Homo-oligomer: A and B are copies of this chain.
Amino acid sequence: MVAKQKRADGERTRTAIVREAVTLATVDGLEGLSIGHLASALDMSKSGVYAHFGSKQELQLATVDEAGQIFRREVIEPALAAAPGLAQLVSVCDAFFDHLVRRTFPGGCFFAGAVLEMGTRPGPVKEEIAAFQLEFTACIRQFAETAIERQELPADEDPDALTFELNGIILAANASYVLREDPAVLDMARTIVRRRLNIAATSPP
């Protein structure tokens, strides 16, 4: 089979399409994301957009992939840059809250919405979303385990439970922030994270 080689301009527009698709999908959902809307938002023809993917499902997969990359860049990587252990736990939560105030996506966390929307729709799109959700929680869990090893957290702390709780705080913050655009809920979330981890409650600017 011949590896189809792509052209530079095609790759550029594909990137632009997918980037716009992520934004639209956080508002309209992955199912509500329509090729017509996408095309007019990009000043392109429907078929011009469509040709890059061949099916709506491929577009959805590309959109989820792009959202994952953005989330990694904005939330996971900043946390990985922090000191291993407890600092990473705080950092990943703070990075998430920053991610929200930065309004990268108008509809809040892409994956929080995608999980609930696609959870009942079996198929590769759901699988990719589930895989990313697993990657994220596994990341938090790893931070927690390291923190326990380093005795920054009590030895009897359950990493799974802690991961669950922090994930819950993140989801509650996202939901509240989407509904009422009040940054105060993020301050409260930061405070709660610190109290849960037994850290002096000095939240960063």
Contacts and interface: CB of A to CB of B under 8 A. Distances in A.
Nearest to A192: B161
A174 to B, nearest CB: 8
B179 A115 contact: yes
How many copies of this chain are found per oligomer? 2
Interface of A is mostly: helix
Nearest to A112: B116
Which range contains the number of A residues in contact with the other chain?
35 or more
B130 A106 contact: no
A164 B180 contact: no
Given A107-B120, A116-B175, A178-B120, A165 B168 contact: yes
Given A107-B116, A120-B107, A164 B169 contact: yes
Contacts of A13: none
A173 B27 CA distance: 23
B171 A172 contact: yes
Nearest to A26: B120
Interface in A149-205: 160-161, 164-165, 167-176, 178-180, 185, 188-189, 191-192, 195-196
20 contacts: A26-B120, A27-B120, A29-B117, A108-B119, A112-B116, A115-B175, A115-B178, A115-B179, A119-B175, A120-B178, A130-B179, A130-B180, A161-B192, A161-B195, A164-B169, A165-B172, A165-B192, A167-B168, A168-B168, A171-B175
